Amino acid sequence: MNVLISEVGPRDGLQNISAIMPTEAKKAWIDAAFLAGVSEIEVGSFVPPRLLPQLADTAEIVSYARRIKGLTVAALVPNRMGAENAIKAGAHKITLPLSCSESHSKANLRRTHAEVLEEARQIAALISDLPEKERPHFEGSLSTAFGCTLEGHVPEEKVVELGIALMEAGCDEVGLADTTGYANPASVRRLIEKVWAAVGEDALTGIHLHNTRGLGLANAYAAFETGLRTFDSSLGGLGGCPFAPGASGNLVTEDLVYMFEAMGVSTGIDLEKLFGVRTLVQDALKDDDFYGFTPEAGLPLNFTPAKVSGVTSRTIGANS
């Protein structure tokens, strides 16, 4: 596998649609995605159920997904209490979003930058108290890094400063997120290089892109060329950001996987099986819009995916 596609549909997708997917359907989605070759899934968010009833079963879903050997189970946490619950449920990776636009941060998390950074410090302390092999990977996500629907321009220096602050607060890594679909390939490259210069290349490996203005794949390619290797995307482009009016449509997993595989860059994901996952999820969410060009057009005649050594077909084996 040359790049890691982190499927965020069960979290970012489902939190932004009104339908509440039954727990059993979520489990079937996760199983099918894993069997198609997906190695990391953000399965939910530890927010109070009254705020996001769509994700009220996150703890159960994390515990369920944890049983799948070879799958990295990620979850979003808005604060220390969310992190405690995520750790209790057994998440391998927890992500705390920090919105680079402070207005967006107040609207989204109801917290100032200083308050989110304090949560980050408390989460890092919580993690360091755990035995080493039980510690989840802790990522601080720099959301609205490329612009904000409330403030417009977000200075790159601000993003860099917050990236440094998150690392100092004890994050293992920071990620860039184009929550509002404001990024372009040039700004993607520039911001990655600036953040790298400040925190080191090991501390920024992934990006979360939206396709709001049709630049999702171009931005992903720019990030890949610059050197990032982890890409968030959502099956069928489900979801967007309810706090960023007009921002709809995550990067579509099917199209992203197709782009990389067609380039000869292995994702570890079988496209035909991924289309099967799409059908499965569509059947469970009959009233929602699914995006993506590749699943509609089908694969080109004689399409050859990227070659990768050592691929074995997957089964769902329980973790010991």
Residue numbers at the binding site for Zn ion (CB under 5 A): 12, 250
Which C-beta is closer to Zn ion: that of 11 or that of 314? 11
Set 100, 148, 171, 241: catalytic member: 241
CB of 12 to Zn ion, least distance (A): 4
Which C-beta is closer to Zn ion: that of 250 or that of 253? 250
Tell me phi and psi for residue 38, to 5 degrees.
-70, 130
CB of 56 to Zn ion, least distance (A): 20
Distance, CA of 202 to CA of 196 (rounded, Å): 8
**126, 129, 132, 133: CA torsion to nearest 10:** -60
Asked if 178 contacts 146 with a C-beta cutoff of 8 angstroms, the reply is yes
Which C-beta is closer to Zn ion: that of 19 or that of 316? 19
Active site residue 100: no
CB of 280 to Zn ion, least distance (A): 21
Residues 6 or more apart whose CB falls under 8 angstroms from that of 165 comprise 113, 117
Amino acid at 41: I
Which C-beta is closer to Zn ion: that of 99 or that of 250? 250
CB of 210 to Zn ion, least distance (A): 6
Tell me phi and psi for residue 265, to 5 degrees.
-100, 120
Which C-beta is closer to Zn ion: that of 232 or that of 261? 232
CB of 208 to Zn ion, least distance (A): 6
Tell me phi and psi for residue 111, to 5 degrees.
-145, 150
Residue 49: is it exposed, middle or buried by C-beta count within 10 angstroms (0-12/13-18/19+)?
Answer: exposed
DSSP letters, 76-114, are E-SSHHHHHHHHHHT-SEEEEEEESSHHHHHHHTS--HH
Residues with catalytic function: 241
